[in-house]
Structure 1
Amino acid sequence: MSDDVPRVGYTEVADQEVRSLRVRYCRLRTAGGEPVAELEVLSFRLRFGAVAVAAEGIGGVETQPGFRRQGHMSRLLRQALAGMAHRVDVAFVSDGIEGPYERFGFVAAVAEGNLVIPVRSVERAAGEDLDRPVPGVRSGSPADLPEMIRLYNTAHAQRPWTHERHAGWNRLIPQATWKPGSQTLVLHTNGAAVGYAVLEGRAFGDPLGSLTVDELVAENAAAARLLLMAIARLCWKRRLSEFTVREPADSLTGRVARHMGCTYQQRFPPSGGMMAAVLNRSSLVRNLEPELRRRAAVQQSDKVFGEAFGALRRGDPVPDETALIRLLLGYWSTDEAYAHGMSIPEWYRDLCTAWFPGGGTPSLPTPYAHRLDRY
């Protein structure tokens, strides 16, 4: 069925708040009001290093069974993206299906990663048994959220893909009957919060086979070590030999865990997963100028920077926008882009190497999507 089939109309219902995110519902319905297809567009601010920009993400994509394989979802996505392009310069998908989204300019732009930490490694690094409570660690409450937001925003202030969390943020998963909710631990030193951990909840009746930490953020290495000890103690009490922490390897938590001894598991999907698309190239690059200047430091004169920056906004030296989004986010470095067939003119190469160093480098942490900000 073509996109101009009669009797199916497009509507948007905007600005409803769902779990701390502004949500816009985009729908196709028949003339009689029967639902055909629907998706959600969520608003947030997402980091490209030290600069966060307004962005929107696509989620909740669904076509009713009786209307599938008739082209309705393609029409809905095109119309939703056209509306997004009037509001923001970049679009994201939190968990894309393999195949379909590439047709709309999306590309996989972040890898999935987590730390696996043996309890014995933590105990050995601590130099003591885990049978005693860790001082300063207690169960968290909603009153701790402002400090948790501050700690998170500080810890990931330059990490691509992470959300800039606003003052009213609360994406902790509420607990309900038969549904596990988030469990929090907060570490206080001298009356101030210096770290927290959010544990993935366990539903009543679930086996005690694993323990997963959705986030672990600390002000310093000593605080991270104490939180890891507190979680290892929970595992020791449940007779678990290891636990998983969903943090990047180059975070403070990752560095402390690596020192103790751990495994880092990472997955790079060829398609689907966490994806991004440029909607307005010139405007996006213009908004990221302070970040590109930060990465370039003082390696080039203002004249050279200005000429190259103008060329980047126009589409030279990186004409492919799927390559551009991967370079801006740090999923690729310039060397990796060369390996995929991209050619950069000689006079731009030094500056592009500074602009696009790839994640996990001194000027740009690894891009990472924390689970509590997914949708």
Structure 2
Amino acid sequence: MPEPEPEHESAVHYTEAADQQVRTLRTRYCRLRTGTGAPVAELEAVSLRVRFGAVAVDAEGIGGVETEPDYRRRGHMGRLLRRALAGMAQRVDVAFVSDGIEGVYEKFGFVNAVAEGVLVVPVRAVERATGGDAGAAVPGVRSGSATDLPAMVRLYNAAHARRPWTLERQAGWNRLVARATWQPGSQILLVHAHGALTGYAVLEGRAFGDPVGAVVADEVVAQDAAAAARLLAALARRCWQSRVSEFTLREPADSLVGRVARHMGCTEQRGFRPGGGMMAAVLNRDALVRTLEPELRRRAAARRQPDPDHDTALAALQHGDLVPDDTALVRLLLGHWSSGDAEAVGAAVPERYRALCAAWFPGGGTASLPVPYAHRLDRY
């Protein structure tokens, strides 16, 4: 018996379900359905608080995008995205995509705005830096559990408070990989000093019985260099026990832990994808620039002299007379590009605003703006 033909596109309608709490994130379900209520396509709009330097803004992220097999290649996903983005623009001024199909989201104003990076640390480098034996136990390091998450969240927010793209973790945050049959889930290492948490590491879990091919830390956060060194030594010990010569650290190179790893000796591996992941789109340019005005003034203050054109330039930025391309603007605001990077690809800056734009948009990894980074455990 042949399969019934899908209903005509005109019979498909759009719905949004009420917000629901999913793993500490508020999630709105945006759907296309047929006249009889059969599902056609669906996506999730996740509520986030995302950093643009020292300022955290309300945003929404797109995830869980799916079209039912019988309705694919008929334009339904584009229709759903347009309706969902129109609704998002009524609530927030910027949207994000953690992971997507390359060549799709670019059509809706999204652009890659974060580089993917890891640090690869040799065990021998840690041994030389600490003067210890990689196989010896590291004093003050112990295993942790989900009960330690509140203190870990406070330490994480303190360490990454001004890092662009970083999500501000809320009370009750728990995006650790759960333990399941044959899988140990995320593993936690903690360092304490004087009764207070000073550092932690979250290790990527492997399936039980898998051959050990790598030791990977999804994140390592420390309050001071001593705690960072202990955690790196503990990771080196894990490698020594598994007969692995190096470990991978998913942390930005300009973080405290990243700087300690660089001092010990490591290799940074960074990739700049053309599309499909770590993407952002400006939904309401004027409102976003107004919200970020304190952040732009903070960056400009690094020049230590007032600029008489600041207010004029800010108005030009809001109205699109300065950096008219929204995809360039979001890259500049997040620090994926510096003003020099933008000019190198044809985004001309008027001479009178060039010095101010260099301060507003210094690029990530500078004294006034850390590298933009999307931590693995916050991806949705």
AA at the equivalent of 1:263: T
Kindly indicate whether residue 302 of structure 2 is the aligned counterpart of residue 317 of structure 1.
no
* 2:239 is the alignment partner of 1:219: no
String of CA shifts for 1:190-209, please: whole Å, max 9, x gaps. Answer: 11100000001111121111
The Cα RMSD (Å) is 1.2
How much has 1:319 moved relative to structure 2? 0.5
Is 1:83 the counterpart of 2:87 in the alignment? yes
Of 206, 209, 216, which residue of structure 1 is paired with 2:213? Answer: 209
Question: What does 1:240-259 correspond to in 2, within 5 Å?
Answer: 240-259=244-263
Counterparts of 2:307 and 2:19 in 1: how far apart (Å)? Answer: 41
Residues 1:13 and 2:29 are matched in the alignment: no
1:160–1:367 contact (8 Å) kept in structure 2: yes
Asked if structure 2 preserves the Cα contact closer than 8 Å seen for 1:300 and 1:351, the reply is no
Structure 2 CA distance for aligned equivalents of residues 7 and 306 of structure 1: 50
Q: Distance in 2 between matches of 1:313 and 1:96?
A: 29
SS where residue 207 of structure 1 aligns? coil
- How far does residue 180 in structure 1 lie from its aligned partner after superposition? 4.4
Q: 1:251-299 CA deviation, whole Å, 9 max, x = no partner?
A: 1111111111111101001121110000000000100011001000064
Cα distance in 1, alignment partners of residues 27 and 68 from structure 2 = 21
For residues 170-209 of structure 1, what are the structure 2 equivalents within 5 Å?
170-209=174-213
Tell me the distance in 2 between the aligned counterparts of 1:232 and 1:113: 20
1:291-326: CA deviation from partner (whole Å, max 9, x where unpaired): 001000064537532121111111121100000000
Corresponding residue for residue 355 of structure 1: 360
Corresponding residue for 1:305?
310
The AA in structure 2 aligned to 1:346 is E
In the TM superposition, what are the counterparts of 1:1-375 in structure 2 within 5 Å? Answer: 5-297=9-301, 299=304, 301=306, 303-375=308-380
Aligned partner of residue 81 in structure 2, secondary structure: helix
Contact (CA 8 Å) 1:26, 1:39: kept in 2 or not?
A: yes
C-alpha distance in structure 1 between counterparts of 2:176 and 2:140, whole Å: 22
User: Any unmatched runs of 5+ in structure 1?
Assistant: none
Following superposition, the deviation at residue 65 of structure 1 comes to 0.8
Q: CA–CA distance in 2 between the matches of 1:289 and 1:299?
A: 17
- Report the counterpart of residue 5 of structure 2 in structure 1: none
1:42-95 alpha-carbon deviations (Å, 9 max, x no partner): 011000001110000001111111100000000000000000000000000001
CA contact (8 A) 2:102 2:275 kept: yes
Deviates more, 1:131-140 or 1:317-326: 131-140
> What secondary structure is seen at the aligned counterpart in 2 of 1:102?
helix
Deviation at 1:143, TM superposition (A): 2.2
Identical-pair percentage: 70
User: What one-letter code is carried by the residue in structure 2 that aligns with 1:315?
Assistant: G
Contact 1:198–1:215, Cα closer than 8 Å, also in 2? yes
Contact kept, 8 Å, 2:123 with 2:134, in 1: the verdict is no
Give the distance between the partners of 2:308 and 2:244, measured in 1 at CA.
59
Contact 1:182 1:200 in 2 (8 A): yes
Runs of 4+ in 1 over 6 A off after TM superposition: none
Shift of 1:32: 1.4
Contact 1:328 1:356 in 2 (8 A): yes
Contact persistence 2:331–2:337 (CA under 8 A): yes
Task: Decide whether the 8 Å contact of 2:254 with 2:365 is kept in 1.
Answer: yes
- CA distance in structure 1 between the aligned counterparts of 2:182 and 2:280, rounded to whole angstroms: 34
Question: Partners of 2:182 and 2:83 in 1: how far apart?
Answer: 38
The amino acid across from 1:368 in the alignment is Y
Could you say what secondary structure the match of 2:17 adopts? strand
Structure 2 residue matching 1:14: 3-state secondary structure: coil
Cα shift readout 1:10-60 (whole Å, capped 9, x = no counterpart): 111132111111111111111112111111110110000011100000011
Letter of the 2:111 partner, please give it. V
SS of residue matched to 1:6: helix
2: distance between equivalents of 1:85 and 1:116? 40
Listed one character per residue, the Cα deviations across residues 185-231 of structure 1 (whole Å, up to 9, x for unaligned) are: 11001111000000011111211111110000001111100000011
